[in-house]
Amino acid sequence: MKPIVRSYLTEINVGTTQPGNGANINIKDYPQLRDIYVTGVEVFSDNVITLSPSGKTVVNDVKGLTLTLVDIFNMEIVYQYPAYDLNPVNIGGFYRDFNPFQLQLTKSYITVLDNSNINQNESVMINFYYVLSKEWNKYASLYVRK
C-alpha cells in the first residue's frame, strides 16, 4: 500500500427509482477531484457507513456493482472492477491502490449488474485517494516504480 496523500469521500445516489440491471450511474462532478492523479479507491456499503453525508441510506451490499474509472484521455483505465473487492471490509481492511492516472471523474461510472440489493434513493459511497496534479512531482517517486 502506498501512503495516503489526500482522500475525498463521494456519494453516488442511485436515483429516485430502483436502477435496472445493466444501468450505468454516472459520477457527478466534485471540484475537489478535478485535475488529480487517483492513487486508490474504496467503495463502502452500510457495513461501514450507514448514512451518507446528505442523509441518504447507504446501499446494503455492493456485490452487484462494478466501478469504471476514466482518465483524461477518455480511456477506461479501471473497467468494471467489482465494487465488492473495493470494500476494505471484504479484503482484510486494505484499500486498492492503482498505478496513478489522471482521473476524469464525470466520465467515470458505476454499473449495476444485479439490482436485488439496491433500493431507490440509496447511495454508494466511494472514497478516492489522490494527489493533486500540481503536487505530482513532489509525490511521484512514492508511486512510480523505477
Q: The sheet that has 123-132: what strands, in order across it?
A: 6-13, 123-132, 36-44, 96-102
Inside any domain, residue 143 = no
| CB-based contact 8:130 (threshold 8 Å) | yes
pLDDT tens-place string over residues 61-86: 999 999 999 999 999 999 999 999 99
Q: Could you tell me the residue range of the domain that residue 53 belongs to? A: 6-135
In-domain check, residue 23 = yes
For the domain that residue 28 is a member of, what is the CATH number? 2.60.120
Kindly state whether residue 140 falls inside one of the protein's structural domains.
no
Please name the residue that has the C-alpha cell 462532478. Answer: 29
Q: Give 66's strand partners.
A: 82, 111
Q: Is the pLDDT of residue 23 over 80?
A: yes
CB contact burial 3-13 (16+ within 10 A = b; e otherwise): eebeeeebbbe
56 occurs within a structural domain? yes
State the Cα angle at 37 between 124 and 52, rounded to 5°: 20
145 lies in some domain: no
Report pLDDT digits (tens) over 85-142. 999 888 877 788 889 999 999 999 999 999 998 999 999 999 999 999 999 999 988 8
- Please identify which residue in the block is written with the cell numbers 446501499: 59
Contact 52, 58 (CB under 8 A): yes
Q: Which residue has the cell 517517486?
A: 141
Tell me if 146 is assigned to some domain.
no
- What pLDDT, on a 0 to 100 scale, did the predictor assign at position 96? 84
**Which residues of 1-146 form beta strands (DSSP E)?**
6-13, 24-26, 36-44, 65-70, 76-82, 96-102, 109-112, 123-132
Q: Please, are residues 48 and 107 in contact by the beta-carbon 8 Å criterion?
A: no
Residue 125 in domain:
yes
Cell numbers describing residue 17: 427509482
- Extract the C-alpha cell encoding 43: 467503495
Whether 75 is in a domain gets the answer yes
Total structural domains within the chain: 1
